Amino acid sequence: MWLPWIAAFVVGLSKGGLPSIGMLAVPLLALVMSPVKAAVLLLPIYLISDVVGVSLYRRSFSKPNLIVLIPAGILGVLVGWATATMISDQAIALLIGLLGIGFCLKTWFLKSKDQQAKSANPVKGMFWGTAAGFTSFISHAGAPPYQIYMLPQKLSKIEFAGTTVIVFAVINLAKVIPYQNISPYTFDDVEITMILVPFALAGTFAGAFLTRRIRETWFFLGVQISLFVVSIKLVISAVLDS
Average pLDDT score over the chain: 84
Task: Answer yes or no: are the C-beta atoms of 1 and 194 closer than 8 Å.
Answer: no
pLDDT band at 30 (very low <50, low <70, confident <90, very high): low
Q: Is the pLDDT of residue 34 over 70?
A: no
User: What is the average pLDDT across 144-161?
Assistant: 89
pLDDT band at 186 (very low <50, low <70, confident <90, very high): confident
Query: With the CA atoms of 164, 170, 172 and 174 taken in that order, what torsion angle do they form, in degrees rounded to the nearest 10?
Result: -150
pTM of the model: 0.78
Q: Could you report the per-residue pLDDT of 211-229, keeping only the tens digit for each?
A: 888 887 887 787 778 778 8
Q: Is the pLDDT of residue 79 over 70?
A: yes
pLDDT top residue among 1 and 99 = 99
Query: Which range among 156-160, 169-173, 219-223 has the greatest average pLDDT?
Result: 169-173
Q: Could you report the per-residue pLDDT of 124-151, keeping only the tens digit for each?
A: 999 999 999 998 888 787 888 898 899 8
pLDDT band at 183 (very low <50, low <70, confident <90, very high): confident
* pLDDT for 114: 55
What percent of the chain lies above the pLDDT cut of 90?
A: 24
* pLDDT for 113: 53
pLDDT top residue among 13 and 242 = 13
Boundaries of domain holding 7: 3-241
Per the structure, how many domains does the chain have?
Answer: 1
SS3 (DSSP) at 117:
coil
SS3 (DSSP) at 141:
coil
3-state secondary structure 28-84: HHCCCCCHHHHHHHHHHHHHHHHHHHHHHCCCCCCHHHHHHHHHHHHHHHHHHHHCC
Q: Which helix (H) or strand (E) holds 203?
A: helix 187-213
